[in-house]
């Protein structure tokens, strides 16, 4: 179980939300309340990203109040002596707010400005829209009005909810919060029957897509151990991908792991362990305050250990890799108790990955557990 909801959010419409409303409720077969998507959208709206750039401008364009303000700004900036009543009359006559599509609203407003201030109209409008889109308070006002319009329209709320895509959502943690709250929504609208239906659909969804959660009653999504480990490896890939040297070492380690598919000899297992230790050394050297070049010295300098025994455990693993013949050095043949095999590869890989949060200051362990 390793996946996150945000990666398969688009599948929830077919797998959760449509089955949730398709079947009637109770012996009298009453339908699921029409306003269910009004309440679901109210909750998902709280977990959407703050609109930026083009999305922020679209938000302004879709808001009648701020579109009018942008129109006024554009007209008065070009002609400060213009009568506001004439400007407002031109905006009303444009019919800009009658359109539902942002491009059509913009075209209508630009056309009206052309008549008022000439060819500079579109550029003046673009400037005014950009200025308003940069003001957090104005964006918040526009978003609040947009959400109010949607949640008071059962048909519109269903459409808006269906159109939410992963990039709109603030992150995995926000999405998990929504999915847990959705249980309360279903319970409030349809009682135990609808909330149990939702719980079962969510359980089936987690199992089908091998997501990193256990679902517990009443509706709590708990990260699983396999999910946490997979999240750590994923975040480690992201971290190493931001640096050419770390990226090369990460790829060398992963290639060494893949090579075991064809040859599980002790030589290849030693290579696998060696590549991982090289990677950990390089990661540790990126930690602020670290000047050492070897993993043993780095362990003494990172200052992240809750107890000396944990630090010594990491240093002992490094000592094994340095002393066992053929991993990092010629080693001490007399100290080798047996040839390394796949149990050593599995154990060392898991142990060494598990120590990376102590060596990589950039890793956010809370995000590893809960999601970003």
DSSP 102-140: HHHHHHHHHHHHHHHHGGGHHHHHHHHHHHHHT-HHHHH
Residue 261 neighbours by CB under 8 Å, 6+ apart: none
The vertex-11 CA angle with 7 and 16, nearest 5°, equals: 120
Burial (0-12, 13-18, 19+ Cβ within 10 Å), 221: buried
Going residue by residue through the chain, which has 372 residues, state the pLDDT in tens, using 9 for 90 and above. Answer: 468 999 999 999 999 999 999 988 876 567 899 999 999 999 999 999 999 899 999 999 999 999 999 999 999 999 999 999 999 999 999 999 999 898 999 999 999 999 999 999 999 999 999 999 999 999 999 999 999 999 999 999 999 999 999 999 999 999 999 999 999 999 999 999 999 999 999 999 999 999 999 999 999 999 999 999 999 999 999 999 999 999 999 999 999 999 999 999 999 999 999 999 999 999 999 999 999 999 999 999 999 999 999 999 999 999 999 999 999 999 999 999 999 999 999 999 999 999 999 999 999 999 999 888
| H-only helix segments in the chain | 12, 18-22, 36-45, 54-61, 64-78, 84-94, 102-117, 121-133, 136-151, 154-162, 172-208, 225-240, 244-259, 266-284, 295-301, 308-323, 342-354, 356-359, 365-370
Q: What is the CA radius of gyration of the chain?
A: 29
CB 161, CB 41: distance < 8 Å:
yes
From CA 288, how far away is CA 274, in angstroms rounded? 24
Would you give the DSSP letter of residue 13?
A: I
47 CB-side CA count, 13 A = 25
Residue 310 neighbours by CB under 8 Å, 6+ apart: 358
Structure tokens at 326: 């053929």
Structure tokens at 108: 């209508």
């Amino acid at each position: 179980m390793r996946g996150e909801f945000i990666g398969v959010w688009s599948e929830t419409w077919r797998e959760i939300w449509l089955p949730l409303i398709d079947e009637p409720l109770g012996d009298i077969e009453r339908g699921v309340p029409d306003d269910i998507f009004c309440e679901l959208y109210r909750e998902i709206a709280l977990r959407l990203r703050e609109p930026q750039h083009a999305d922020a401008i679209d938000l302004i364009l879709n808001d009648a109040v701020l579109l009018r303000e942008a129109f006024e700004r554009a007209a008065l900036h070009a002609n400060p002596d213009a009568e506001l009543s004439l400007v407002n009359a031109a905006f009303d006559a444009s019919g800009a707010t009658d359109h539902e599509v942002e491009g059509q609203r913009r075209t209508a407003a630009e056309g009206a400005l052309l008549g008022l201030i000439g060819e500079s109209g579109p550029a003046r409008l673009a400037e005014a829209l950009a200025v308003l889109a940069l003001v957090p308070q104005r964006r918040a006002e526009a978003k609040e009005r947009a959400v109010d319009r949607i949640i008071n329209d059962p048909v519109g709320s269903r459409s808006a909810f269906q159109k939410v895509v992963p990039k709109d959502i603030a992150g995995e943690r926000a999405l998990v919060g929504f999915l847990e709250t959705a249980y309360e929504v279903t319970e409030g609208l349809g009682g135990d029957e609808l909330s149990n239906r939702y719980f079962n659909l969510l359980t089936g969804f987690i199992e089908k897509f091998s997501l990193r959660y256990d679902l517990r009653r009443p509706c709590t999504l708990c990260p699983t151990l396999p999910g946490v480990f997979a999240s750590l490896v994923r975040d480690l890939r992201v971290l190493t991908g931001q640096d050419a040297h770390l990226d090369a070492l990460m790829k060398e380690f992963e290639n060494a792991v893949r090579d075991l598919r064809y040859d599980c000899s002790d030589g290849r297992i030693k290579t696998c362990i060696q590549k991982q230790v090289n990677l950990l050394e390089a990661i540790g050297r990126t930690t602020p305050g670290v000047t050492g070049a070897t993993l043993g010295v780095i362990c003494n300098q990172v200052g992240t250990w809750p107890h000396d025994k944990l630090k010594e455990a990491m240093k002992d693993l490094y000592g094994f890799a340095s002393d066992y013949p053929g991993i990092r050095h010629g080693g001490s043949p007399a100290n080798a108790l047996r040839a390394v095999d796949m149990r050593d590869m599995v154990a060392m890989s898991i142990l060494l990955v598990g120590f990376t949060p102590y060596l990589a200051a950039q890793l956010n362990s809370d995000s590893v557990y809960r999601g970003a």
